[in-house]
Structure 1
């Protein structure tokens, strides 16, 4: 693998290449201009001599000039001038090797002729190029050296800013510091690079926080039912007919099942099933029956309002997990009194009295994890506190934006 180049080296080489290409283009333009000027001087001389021709047989021509009638012109000259109009000028090399400019003229007497000007030794540009190429090579080498020196002076600032950006990204203690640096950076590309690095860092921290939250849920949600299961098994060993122990064991099993199903949904990258449906009344009846003894022990009563044919566009385990968490929130963190569950085609509302010291922290899965779980299916979770009560609203997505709630027909 080839060695990595620094930004300064890359920019310096590009600057040198740019300077060479630019100089070459200007040199080519200058050379073309010289050729045009040279041809212009030659053609002007040719036209001046032609203006003095009155009769072809009596014309007195300067050195290197010749005049021929079309009938007497050499074969090569006649061939190359075929079809030319009076006054037009062509340049070409004759069969004998001479390079000539030829004007097709017509005398005042009406005689057509070809005026030939031999410019073989008049091409000053070609002669100068043949003599000056060593100087041109020296000038090109000097240009490379000057370009390198200029690149050192011009590129050093950009290279220093790039090193500063790398150092800042490596030394930043948090994404906010990196975002502040991006806001101060004057070069747009460097600012965008720092902002992307900060956004990537923030996303990674958020992902770690979500994983930590999920692990915390596992630790809490698994510990309590496992302890309850061990206690129930110990009681059943002494008294296999202990109905209370069997009930607590069943409750612990249900909670462990909900916890495992919730983690699987949260950790899965698979698309949620579009045809998921669950019978709401069956889910709510089972949860009310499960948590009624716990609510009675805290001076609370559970009231359920739900149509028997109501269905939600959610998997049954997801609906059970979220409602169970909300119900546990209401029982464990709410005050004594009535806890109402009102189900409808668009969601569920759980209301409970607010205790003297209300807390937004959830029991078990928690509000944030419940919201994450519902978001997988386009649903939302909102917690409000109107008129001394705590309201938890589970809301289905608007029509056309996710799974819809429906009643069975």
Structure 2
């Protein structure tokens, strides 16, 4: 797909693979309007690199970070996996002229922050990433310059993603401290949030539908109505107020080419894929969980939205959010309690009791389930499109399937 013909890809046209010979033009890194979702535990360096190498826009999950140094080390571990050898060891400016040095270069991936968690931890890690500390500089003389006296340049990521909370203070930080050309992606769950993001000058808006796996707003609409309404409203706002119209990505239950084409027809430039990448070879998720995903049919019935696992994990998710998971014993017992005991939302000790059929469960039972990776008790986040996934494939093959470029079954 030509980046120039796709609004989302066009935003990243300044990020290119290096030319391999004299007179050869550099080629765009991002050629497929597919972003991999920032999924904790499922979007590791191998998946990020695989998506980037095949022309997609990978988003590395910063998640519930408590150790910024470990995050930066993870980011650096992506670079040796990239297919462009010049990306692996940072920028070598020894052959560049001064005109080329005025252009900021970028790493071919984005980073994704949980905004309310960023509020708690502070912006230091975000600022370090914007400075390029996730890059791997090439070895040079101790003076920190190349043999020609030109300084090395550490690269920031192509974009920063914010979701679940007030992104505006961090949008300001990116604009003030980030390089010109660093894009901002914001995930929203309502039409008004999309309008506000346009007014704030956000580059990309991700419309998250109720079909989406993992966390989202408890009150959120299906993509079938969400995407076209937002697309129309943003165009109207753009014309009426002279505002830039951000690129739109659709997220939620998208697993096959027909769905991809449908959301594009409704006004989206591309898609964000989470569940679809979970059972790929490159994802770091456990194999038994991947197999469970591939055996799960009828995703609209076999997945359910709940807050019970946030109570059990004690991450302090704000009110108004829940998460879609594959049904298991915990969600079944939660539903039973709602019907027979009138418990609307188990909290505290009641949440742990849901783990045990005799209602004597404790926090130790939860810890043991996590240690055993017992999917009857711990969450397997997945969207409604899980029932369309039938076969374990590579990330590249999954992308080709979505774009209708593969004859193989899902």
Does the alignment reach a TM-score above 0.5? Answer: no
Indicate the structure whose relative CO is greater, using CA pairs within 8 Å and at least 6 residues apart. 2
Going by fraction, where is helix more abundant, 1 or 2? 1
